[in-house]
Amino acid sequence: MRTRWFDWRGVLLCCAVMAGVLRSGLATSAVQASDHDFDAAVSALEQNYHVHRQHIPMIGLASFCAHVATHGAVQGIKIADFGEDSKLPADADMPEMLRDALGHSWSMVVTSRAREEQDAVYARPHGERMTLLIASYDRGDLSVVRLDMDAEHLRRWMRDPLQHARHPETN
């Protein structure tokens, strides 16, 4: 089995790190808007690449646990996994297609494209919160993750991830 930077263990590890790092309030209307954007991105992938999202058992519970463990800093997590049989055309430009689906309120942060791999990270600030949408395609395995979190804690973690992972209580 190949090693990927984006797999379920990585997502769970990321959530665990964020759970130790992030703390603070709610932004219900922003989460509803990001739900709509997430659904638009997933729908665009399904329509353009003829793939179908698979149901992930207990993802709602995982999102709730992240919210509770972070005292509200992680507002929500959504994951769309399309399985390992997803085939993007050789000329597919997933990052550009997702940018069109998400709209002008999202900023493309990182994109990467190799022979059989495409990755993209988008961010949308809303008040004191930040929503990240992370899309990864690697040799037939396509996944999209949306994560809503406290923007200040995200900034601190990005400046020094090891320090904040070791000592989350000082954040």
Please write the tens of the pLDDT for every residue from 95-122. 899 999 998 999 999 998 887 889 999 9
In this structure, of 54-58, 114-118, 164-168, the range with the lowest mean pLDDT score is: 164-168
3-state secondary structure of 105: coil
pLDDT mean over 119-128: 91
pTM for the model stands at 0.72
Q: How far is CA 117 from CA 5, 30, 44, 99, in A?
A: 11, 31, 18, 17
Is pLDDT at 12 greater than 80 in this prediction? Answer: no
Band of residue 19 on the pLDDT scale cut at 50, 70, 90:
very low
Q: Where are the domains of the chain?
A: 8-164
Residue 20's nearest CA partner among 159, 127, 149, 134 is 149
CB proximity list for 136: less than 8 A, separation 6 or greater = 4, 5, 6, 117, 118, 119, 142, 143, 144
CB 88 within 8 A of CB 139: no
Q: Predicted confidence band at 88 (pLDDT cuts at 50, 70, 90)?
A: confident
The confidence score (pLDDT) of residue 167 equals 56
